Amino acid sequence: MTQRYFYRLFEAIHRRISYTFSIVSFSLTGAWFGAVYAFFFGSATIPMFSLQTHYPVVLTFLGATLLVTLVHGTQYGLFAPLGLSGLESHIKRVNKALHPNYSLRHAPSQDLDTVLSDLIRLPTHNMLSSLGYASFVFITDVIAYLVLGYDIKELWYIFLGWLAAAFVYCGFSYIITDYITGPKRVLLKKILLGRAYNVNTKSGFLGLKGKFGFLLSLVLLSLTVLAVYVSLGPKSALEIVAFIGLTFFAATTLIILYFQSISTTLEQISKSANDLAAGGPGKLPLVSIDKEFLGFARDFAKATGEIGRIREHLQFLVEEKTSELRETLRTVEELKNQQDGDYFLTSLLIKPLGINRTSGKKVKVDFLIRQKKNFVFKGKASEIGGDICIAQEILLRGKEYTVFLNADAMGKSLQGAGGILVLGAAFHSILQRTLTNESTYSLYAEKWIKNAFTELNKLFQGFDGSMLVSMVLGVLDEQAGLLYYINAEHPWSVLYRDGKASFLEESLQYRKLGTPGIEESLTVKTFHLEPDDILIVGSDGRDDLELQVANGERVINEDESLFLKAVESSNGDLQSVLDTLERKGKITDDLSLLRIEYDPGKEIKRSKVSKDVQNLSVKAKEFLKNKKLSNAIQVIEEALELSPENQVLKRDLIRLHYRNTDYQKACRHLETYVEENPGDTDMIYIASFCFKKIGNFTKSLELAERIQLRNPGIPANLVHIADLNFRLGRPEKAAHFAKLGLELEPENQKASEIVKKIVESN
């Protein structure tokens, strides 16, 4: 956009006055910008400097700058509409050749080459002219000082300010001229190349390094002048803001032009390379006259010439190699048959691993897998890839859970399939141990999923990064509807509820399996599913859709919400989701989808609270207001006899026993409550505290570790775990958790006491 408006203004001046003056009108901006630099520097460094004391000098300086502006413009064709198109022959040639009414297409090649040479040296010429005009302004000020009798010592500061102004003026003139003349140089080069004319490849005075050095020096010079201006005397905020704004505008404009020139040149190189690759001549009429790019252009021209010679003999080379290619093709076909055999064997090994061993009583699980690589071996069609889905029912602590896994192994075809073989075999081994091992059977869901994830991650770490796997591993409590899950750099899971689809995750949780260190701060996420909720987990093939082909390039979908829309329009049905995605675009990767529908049926009882229970609850609150805990407990117990399944009453009763410091009774109720309500994290924490109070440290630690896995950043729980480990004779673990607590809360006295006890015991 900046480039478009810049050239619009330039062309407007070009049409009304002349081509070279349109250039100078921009470069003269540098003259006035430099004049501002000189004024700011002089006013800051010269003692007692002001418009009143140095009025004649400032007036002379301003008059000389105006005169320079007029003469510089006249030199470059300011009065072209009056017949004076410049003061020098090469400027007149440029204005004549580039007049809007003049046709370059019909001009002689020699004339065009001359104009091209004039344009190439125009930036350097304008820069030297600017230096001459800047010198004139300085000499004028020196004469004014001598004539008017000012302190000669002040000329030293005038000279320093002039150096800054001349530097800015000359640099502006070169970069602006180089940038503006670029399109015309390209046009002339294209015309000459079309006529097979030997194009001029002279470089400019400044290369990429020189321009960059000027821009960097401009920024540093601006900071220096500003520092001097501010430090040598009190200045108004308006003056400082004006100087900063002017500097920012000028520097930003030049930086944009500098990088735009580089970008345009790189685009030209890319287009020429693509043209050469497509069989074209690969001609490279560079917009840049920087010696670095011109050196590349000369080498590129040599390469295109060599390629042209090779193409002339291509037919002969093709015929010579045809017989070899036929033989190679036969060899490739044999190798392909062997490869397809390997693919087929691998697919047979993977098939029994990706199974769904769920009954569908309360949790309905469905799979859909479309591997990218399809093949035919001995007339049998099959597919192979790096995606897998696994689901199975297990028992933990006497409760029914549904375990599910959706994974995507790194690599295509055989490499990805190898990762899935390792993952599938290892995960089925974990499931089998869960079904047969009593110690695993007694684990809480959080601990089970942590152990499974850690074991799989350590297994893949052994491949030293050559085999990574993204996955979602989940465990669903069929009775309570509580979902425990870990996402290892897999696409976010989708919840479909009441006709709306949304992402379950909000940020990346962990890197892929096989990444070192991710198990050190493991967190198990939880989410409560409601009846008729649908959870859909899928690999990144669901997002990698080729939407269309534009200019021969593939356009890949980058909109993650596209999958959400597909789920909503398909009402959560996997086959319909796949059909919707295929209508949107072409699937370019392995795709696997795992669907979980929570349908507890009649198992969920939503009993209505009777009026008697409500009255008793109100009565208990009155007792509680009057601090009659025993009476409140008695009333809640009566209410529970009327509504024994009421979880709210159970929770209230536990809290009352806890407030009454009757930890024994609180633990008796908590034993069943936390099993029936595994999603109530607050009550699990209270249960851990109560079991600690009655001396059951092992049970207390198990519950505290569940909290840690869900919310690892709670200082109080970290210190609680440290204390329990210390009481159980585990000083190393106690010290570890106490230090973690101190990192989050350095003033925690309990943590400091534990560390001190551990040090003293050693």
> In the structure encoding, which two tokens stand for residue 582, read together?
């295929």
pTM of the predicted structure, to 2 decimals = 0.55
DSSP 362: S
**Which whole-number Å values give the CA distances from 420 to 184, 319, 471, in the listed order?**
59, 45, 11
Q: What is the mean pLDDT of each run of 10 residues along the chain (762 residues)?
A: 65 79 77 69 62 71 82 81 83 79 75 80 82 81 77 72 74 78 76 72 68 69 64 60 66 68 72 69 63 66 70 66 71 68 74 88 92 77 85 90 93 81 90 79 87 90 87 93 92 93 85 79 88 93 81 78 92 92 88 92 56 72 73 77 80 83 87 86 89 89 88 87 88 88 87 83 72
Residues in the chain: 762
Quickly name the fold that domain 611-761 has.
Answer: 1.25.40
Using an 8 Å Cβ cutoff, are 116 and 193 in contact?
A: no
Residues whose CB falls within 8 Å of the CB of residue 459, separated by 6 or more in sequence, listed in order: 422, 426
**Which whole-number Å values give the CA distances from 313 to 15, 306, 310, 347, 436, in the listed order?**
50, 11, 5, 47, 73
Q: How far is CA 730 from the centre of its chain?
A: 43
DSSP string over 537-592 = EE-GGGT-EEEEEETTEEEE---THHHHHHHHHTTT-HHHHHHHHHHHSEE-S-EE
Position of tokens 């960059």? Answer: 212
Q: How far is CA 385 from the centre of its chain?
A: 28
Query: Cα separation of 727 and 695, whole Å?
Result: 10
Per domain, the residue ranges of the chain are 2-269+279-307, 348-603, 611-761
- Percent pLDDT > 90 in the chain is 14
Per the CATH hierarchy, to which homologous superfamily does domain 348-603 belong? PPM-type phosphatase domain (3.60.40.10)
Query: Cα separation of 38 and 192, whole Å?
Result: 45
Q: What's the pLDDT at 404?
A: 96
